[in-house]
Amino acid sequence: MAEHTIHFEPDDRYHAFLTICKKPVHGTGVLAGIPVAVKDNISTQGIETTCASKILKGYIPPYDAHVVTKLKLAGAAIAGKTNMDEFGMGTTTENSGFGPTTNPHDTNRVPGGSSGGSAAAVASGMVPMALGTDTGGSIRCPAAFCGCVGLKPSYGRVSRYGLIAYANSLEQIGPMAQNVTDVSRLMQVIAGYDRRDTTSYDRPYTLIPDAHISGLKMGIPEEYFGAGVDPKVATVVQRAIAKLEALGATTVPCSIPSMEYALAAYYVICTSEASSNLARFDGVRYGLAADTKKSWHDAYREVRRAGFGTEVRRRIMLGTFALSSGYYGKYYAKAQIARENVRKDFARILSGVDVIVGPTMPTIAFKLGEKSDPLSMYLSDILTVPANLAGIPAISVPCGKVEGMPVGLQIMGRPFEDERVIDVAFAYEQAVST
């Protein structure tokens, strides 16, 4: 990106934003004057933050999230708050309480989710950079569907202070941009230790991406090219892998047996944590107001029925059931065992290779309304949730198109080796742009 101030001119034909800061405030620093969009589940002092949920309509945080503070210190201009699946629960951004975002490549298709607004804002050129969050693929999915770059950092690499929680043990704030260099640049600003986040590690990020990957070993899991993956998508990704081989990398076939249970384990864990986290939204302290003349039970029930959308209510009920007496051991405890098996499988494979490579998503972006069945929607996350369960870094970089729609190449690495996955993504990006 050129080192000059960029004027933000909103043209939100894709409903990427829920709030636009028409006169964004900025200062001096490495991002001076550059507009950065912020997903609407990240707290912004003085700017409405709703998580795309009616239950938080009108809520204005009294403080900034750690990452927003870091953006301001770097001189960035907060362009606005982006649309998302309500509380981060979705793969299409159709679950927003304020209407869906559309894909800049085809407005009849979804942008992916849950950070669909951030991806659409970047892919359409409205902003060069954005922040998203990734609980089970919510940065990488929309990056793949919209044709931009998105990084899910290692768990603990970026502070979650000020993030309105969905599933604490899985989610991470991460950068999205039009190219790998800008993802790296934004990561340099937001990464590092924060004492207010007990899961935060003192691992600052200072990488200038390097395209030299000769001798790199890439693990290619058979499960990432198996049942459910569109053969056309697989072909595009295999071409991208061949391009990396031409740069001097080598491939190593591998298998992740725990993938069989990863998706089920993820949905038990994330819905259980959501059930606990969202219990605080009662219409009393902030957001949608409860009728205080009614009994607490009636008021609480009514405000949540009116304030939460269908998918959020579904996941709360699923999580409450999984944690309930008599079922905790049958579901939640077993899901944690499966999660540990996923972590061990990735650790085993990554002990012999430098990165693991495959498709980001099994298909191209769906048409609006196409995935009305919740189960079919959940199955779309099969290639992204393992990285969250394992806590490892994963990046999606555009690698071609199918039927005119973008396809993402996913690169995963060892914990806290975010720099390596970014280098590989940069090497690929440079190879195809020359």
How many helices and strands, by DSSP H and E, does the chain display?
12, 11
The helix/strand/coil state of 130 is strand
Among all chains, which residue has been given the structure tokens 């949608």?
Answer: 288
Per-residue pLDDT 10s for the chain (434 aa) are 434 445 566 679 999 999 999 766 657 899 998 999 999 999 999 999 999 999 999 999 999 999 999 999 999 999 999 999 999 999 999 999 999 999 999 999 999 999 999 999 999 999 999 999 999 999 999 999 999 999 999 999 999 999 999 999 999 999 999 999 999 999 999 999 999 999 999 999 999 999 999 999 999 999 999 989 999 999 999 999 999 999 999 999 999 999 999 999 999 999 999 999 999 998 877 777 777 677 878 888 888 999 999 999 999 999 999 999 889 999 999 999 999 999 999 999 999 999 999 999 999 999 999 998 888 899 999 999 999 999 999 999 999 999 999 999 999 999 999 999 999 999 999 999 97
Could you give phi then psi for residue 64, rounded to 5 degrees? -95, 145
Q: Which of 144, 166, 154 is nearest to 281 (CA)?
A: 166
User: Any idea which architecture 17-212+360-433 has in CATH?
Assistant: Alpha-Beta Complex (3.90)
- As a whole number of angstroms, the distance between CA 346 and CA 352 comes to 10
What residue type is 68 in one-letter code? V
Structural tokens at position 432: 């195809």
Residues 158 and 190 sit within 8 Å (Cβ to Cβ): yes
pLDDT of residue 14: 97
Beta-bridge mates of residue 359: 409
Evaluated on CA atoms 142, 119, 109, 98, the torsion sign reads positive
- As a whole number of angstroms, the distance between CA 248 and CA 197 comes to 40
Beta-bridge mates of residue 89: none
Structural tokens at position 261: 């249970």
Evaluated on CA atoms 108, 111, 117, 118, the torsion sign reads negative
pLDDT of residue 8: 62
Reported as type and span, the H/E element at residue 133 is: strand 129-134
Q: Where are the alpha helices (DSSP H) in 152-285?
A: 180-190, 231-246, 259-277
Catalytic site positions: 39, 114, 138
pLDDT of residue 303: 87
pTM (two decimals): 0.96
pLDDT of residue 344: 98
